[in-house]
Each structure stands twice: as structure tokens, then as C-alpha cells.
Structure 1
């Protein structure tokens, strides 16, 4: 029987979000209903509200979440009621050409629940990244549920569902940071600072954090950056080169998603080094680089999708590191808020005052 819960929706472009009744249907084949315990407030949710992703309003926002499986539909055997899970937005299919080549983290046919949650008048909602977890309960594809150790705090664990995983994975999976490598991270919000932490976990010898906000740079230093550069006052390319013996960094992670910062990343890497783009650009942005420089500098220019993660592999491993005290996910939780605090959290995030606000139910 369908349930009615409270959820946060964006009804129109730029309009303040609203807390409204949301109808959650019983799970169908391959689906699960999850009782959400915590959900982070991510820039992607703000992009949805601003119409920056698509115009399929109204949106049910929220996607960085952890909770408990309440019920499952026919054919579901990967999770069961009572399982503590982190939600992910890329449930792999196991059948596409990427999956068949043994690279499921690139799955080209990821999927979500087939049914839609609705408003009480029957209006269908578009769940953010196929999740919609600013709600007391949400309907997802069962493959979007990754079972982890229930000892982990939901407020911290849920952040692996998007931003923290994106940054950690950009360093560890996409950039393949190795022991002793020099790494520069351009943009030190939640994703960039997670890349700092990922570089530290991978054994990087020098981690250079770059931002225009001294508050974010101080956080990066607390999380493991060995050096910081305020690019508002100095040339970041020159500064990174100076800090790496004049060579440039082995890996440069661009966590902003702008042509200007991508060019900085390109020229701040060592010859044959790697640039990883994990910041998300907007559709109108274009990039121009001298083709001779692209050829002559060698190395690799990579884009990182969700940190190139495989949730069933990466989430349990990272939660184990968290519980062992080797990965401080709690440091990313700037504040916990109620469900009706999302609009104010967007404003604080826009002003750069928080790494993550987290809705706790």
C-alpha cells in the first residue's frame, strides 16, 4: 500500500523549495523502499532547483543518503528489509559493453526505479539523480542500495553517496595517485577536499590545495593538504610549479568545472602528468587549448564520473576505513539540520560557509 511522507520539492526554476506530502508507492520488481536516516545537501540539488540540469519540474531533491531498507519488490535478492544501506545514483546493469568488458564503474546503462513518486494530486516527481532522498522514505532501484556496516553514522555514511565519493574516487580511482606523488587540487569545496583526503589515503607525498577562499584552504590543510595556494592573490600555476621543483604536479584534480580552472590544471601538471576533471561544467562552457601543447605535454586528460566508483566495491571498504578511524567522514559534516532547513542550507552552501549540511530524520 502506498505511503505518504514529507519531502522537499523544487516546483519551478529558482523558486524556494517546499516541504510537501509525497506519495511513495510499494516497490515493484527490482525496486526497494528505503527509510531515509540522513541526506546531505549537495550543489547538484541546487543545480536542479535552478534548472541547470534539466527542466523536468517538479523535482524531489536529495541524493546523498543513508537509511534502512523497509521493503523490496519481486526478484530483489541483493538487499533485504532491515539492511543498512548507502544510496547510489549509478546502479550498474551488468549487461552493457562496459560491464561485459569488466569495467562496471563505466556502466553505460545505469538505471533507477521504474515507478515514480508523486504529489497527492498525482503529479509525477522527478527524483534528483534517480534518488529523491530529502524525504522520510524514498523509492529506488534495488541496485542503488549498497549494504554497509550499520555502526557507521548515517550523517557521515550518506556523503559517500555523491560528493565525498566523487572526490575520493577522482584521486584514487581516476587519477590513480600513487605513493610519493605530488597532487594539486583546484577547488576545495566538498568534492575538492574529498580529493585531498583521497590523495592522503593513496600515500601522496605533496598535496597542494588551491582555492580563492582562505576558510576552505584551512579546512583542506586540516584534512591533509601539505601546502595551500590562494589563487585570488597568486598565479596558481606558478605556485604549483614552484612547490614541485619547477616541474608541476604528477596529478592535478580540477574540482570546479570551469574553462579557466581547467587551463590552470592543464599547465600546472608535470610532463606526462594527469589532469582529472571532476568539477561539473555547465552546457554553454567551451574549452580552447593549443593542440600542440596537448600533444607535446603528453600524459592523460581524464574526466571522473562519480569518482569512477563501483559502489558495491568502494562503499563498504571506505566505511571500514571510517570505522577504523582512518577516514574522517565526520569532518565533512558541517551541521545537521531538519527537513525544513534545506532552503537556508542552500544559501549557506552558496556563501561557502559549509562543506556539507546534512538533513537528519
Structure 2
């Protein structure tokens, strides 16, 4: 039986979001209904609102979420009612060629709930990243629920569902940062700062934060950066080389998603070093590099999608590290807000003075 809850929808391209009554169906086979406790306001939600992801309006926004499983459908074994979970947007299939080769983090057939949540008039909603968690309850595939220690605050736990995991994973999983490495992170928003924190967690000896905003560089220092470079006034490639003995960084993480900053990352790495692209480009962007330089510099050019994470492995580990005091997830929460404050949170995002606003229910 469907339940009526409040949720935040984006009704059309560029239009202000609004709180509406949402109908959440009971869980079908392989599905779960989750009572949301907290959900971060991610830049991806803004992209949905602006029409930068698709034109499948109206969208039910929100995806960086944690909450409690309320009900599960037939055949669900992963979680049970009462479990505290973080939601993810990569429920692995277990049957594709990646899963069968023991690489489920690269699953080629991730899935979401089959049923649709709707408005009261029956209009079907497109949930952001298959989640739609700016709502009191949401319907997801059971595989999108990852059980973690309930002692963690929902406001910080939910951030692992997207941006923080993307950044930490870009450093640890994709870039394979290890003890003693030098790392440069270009772009110090939420994902970039998470890459800084992940590099520190991995034992990097030198972590160079690069941005055009001194406020963001100050935050990066609090997250674990050892040096900062304002690329508005300083050539970041030359600065990174100078800070690494003239060689360049072992790993450079590009968290902006632009050709200009990717080129900086390419030339700021050491010979045989690694570039990790975790910033999300737009469809029209093109990259041009001399092929001889690609060949001659060696190393690896990698893209990091969701931090190459496996939620069932990575979420519980990072929550445990947070509870042990080794990873300060709370540092990513700038403010907690109500469901009706999401539009204002998007405005603050434009101003650049928040890492994360978090809706708390």
C-alpha cells in the first residue's frame, strides 16, 4: 500500500524546487522502503534541477542519504526492517561479466527500484541517481542499502553515499595513494576535500591543494593538506613541481572536470605518475594533448567513477574509521537544514561558502 510523504521535487528545467506530497509504493520483489533521517545537498542535485543530467522532469531530488529500513519486498536478504543503512546508487547485479570476474565495483548492470514513486495526481517521478532522498521515505532496490554501525550520526553517514566517497575513493581506490606519496588535488570543493582527506588517510607525505578560492584552500588545510596553491595568481604546474623537488606529484587528482585543469594535472605529475579524473565534465568538452607527451611521460591516466567504490566493502570501513576518530566526516557538514530549505542551499552552493548542507528529518 502506498504511503504519502513530503518530498522535494524539481518540476522543470531551472525552476525553483518545491515540497510536494509524494506517493511511495510498498516494496516489491528486491525492493526496500527506507525512512530517511538525513540527506546531503550535492552539486549533482543542482545539475538535475538545471537539466544538466536529463530532461526526465519532474525529479525527486536527493541521494546522499542515510536512514532506517522500514519494509522490504520478497526475496530481500541484504537488509531487514530496522537496519540503519547508507543509500548508494550502484546496486550491483552479481551476474555481469565484471561481477563474475570478481570486480563488482565495476558492475555493468547496476539497477534501481522497478516501481515508480509519483505525485498525488499519478505523475511519475524520476528519482535522482535512482534514490530520491529529499523525502521522508523513499523506495530503492535493496542492493542500494548498505548496513553500517548505527552509532554514526545520519548527517555524516549519508555523505558517504556520493561526494565524500567519490573523493576518498579517487585517492585510495583509483589513485592507489600509498605511504610517502606526494599528491596534488586540483579543485577543493566537497569531492576535492574528500580526496585530500583520503590521501591523508592513505599516508601521503605531501598533499598539495589547488584552487582559486582562498576560503576553500583554508578548508583543505583543515582536511589534511600540507601545502596550498592559489591557481588564480600562481601557475599550479610550476608550483606543484617546486613543492616536489622539481619532479611533479606521484598522484594528481583532478576534481573540477574541465580540460584546462585536466591539462594542468597531466603536466603536474611526475614521470610514470598517475592522473585521476573525478571531476565531472559536460558533454561538449574536448581534451587535446600531444600524443608524444602521453607516450613519453608513461604512468596512468584514470577516471574515477564513484571513487571506484564497492559500498558493501567501503561504507562500513569508512564509518568505522570515523567512529575511531581517524576520519572526521563531520568536518564536511557546514550546516543542517530542513526540507523546505533546499532551494536556499542551492543558492549558498553558488556562493561557494559551504561544503555540504544536510537536510535532517
TM bracket (short chain): over 0.9
The residue aligned with 2:94 is: 94
Question: Using the alignment, how far apart are the partners of 1:221 and 1:166 within structure 2?
Answer: 19
How far is 1:144 from its partner?
0.1
How far is 1:14 from its partner?
0.2
The residue aligned with 1:110 is: 110
The residue aligned with 1:52 is: 52
Question: Using the alignment, how far apart are the partners of 1:108 and 1:78 within structure 2?
Answer: 20
Question: Using the alignment, how far apart are the partners of 1:107 and 1:77 within structure 2?
Answer: 20
Question: Using the alignment, how far apart are the partners of 1:294 and 1:113 within structure 2?
Answer: 42
The reply to whether residue 82 of structure 1 matches residue 82 of structure 2 is yes
**Correspondence 1:35-184 to 2 at 5 A:** 35-184=35-184
The residue aligned with 2:189 is: 189
Q: Which whole-Å deviations, capped at 9, do the CAs of 1:247-282 have from their partners, x for residues lacking one? A: 000000000000000000000000000000000001
The residue aligned with 1:225 is: 225
How far is 1:350 from its partner?
1.4
- Give the paired residue count: 361
**Correspondence 1:20-39 to 2 at 5 A:** 20-39=20-39
Question: Using the alignment, how far apart are the partners of 2:347 and 2:189 within structure 1?
Answer: 15
Question: Using the alignment, how far apart are the partners of 1:90 and 1:158 within structure 2?
Answer: 15
The TM-score, its normalising length taken from structure 2, stands at 1.00
Question: Using the alignment, how far apart are the partners of 2:356 and 2:131 within structure 1?
Answer: 18
Question: Using the alignment, how far apart are the partners of 2:290 and 2:60 within structure 1?
Answer: 42
Q: Which whole-Å deviations, capped at 9, do the CAs of 1:315-337 have from their partners, x for residues lacking one? A: 00000001001100000000000
Question: Using the alignment, how far apart are the partners of 1:3 and 1:126 within structure 2?
Answer: 17
Question: Using the alignment, how far apart are the partners of 1:96 and 1:205 within structure 2?
Answer: 39
How far is 1:351 from its partner?
1.2
Q: Which whole-Å deviations, capped at 9, do the CAs of 1:11-38 have from their partners, x for residues lacking one? A: 1000000100000000000000000000
The reply to whether residue 271 of structure 1 matches residue 265 of structure 2 is no
Question: Using the alignment, how far apart are the partners of 1:266 and 1:53 within structure 2?
Answer: 27
How far is 1:174 from its partner?
0.2
The TM-score, its normalising length taken from structure 1, stands at 1.00
Q: Which whole-Å deviations, capped at 9, do the CAs of 1:163-202 have from their partners, x for residues lacking one? A: 0000000000000001000000000000000000000000
**Matched residue SS, 2:45:** helix
**Correspondence 1:200-215 to 2 at 5 A:** 200-215=200-215
Q: Which runs of 5+ in 2 are unaligned?
A: none
Question: Using the alignment, how far apart are the partners of 1:89 and 1:169 within structure 2?
Answer: 15
How far is 1:67 from its partner?
0.1
How far is 1:228 from its partner?
0.3
Q: Which whole-Å deviations, capped at 9, do the CAs of 1:103-127 have from their partners, x for residues lacking one? A: 1101000000000100000000000
Question: Using the alignment, how far apart are the partners of 2:222 and 2:25 within structure 1?
Answer: 44
How far is 1:227 from its partner?
0.1
Question: How large is the Cα RMSD of the aligned pairs?
Answer: 0.4
**Matched residue SS, 1:294:** helix
The residue aligned with 1:261 is: 261
**Correspondence 1:245-256 to 2 at 5 A:** 245-256=245-256
Q: Which whole-Å deviations, capped at 9, do the CAs of 1:202-248 have from their partners, x for residues lacking one? A: 00000000000001100000110000000000000000000000000
Q: Which runs of 5+ in 1 are unaligned?
A: none
Question: Using the alignment, how far apart are the partners of 2:46 and 2:75 within structure 1?
Answer: 35
**Correspondence 1:299-314 to 2 at 5 A:** 299-314=299-314
After superposing on structure 2, the runs of 4+ consecutive aligned residues of structure 1 that deviate more than 6 Å are none
Question: Using the alignment, how far apart are the partners of 1:119 and 1:287 within structure 2?
Answer: 42
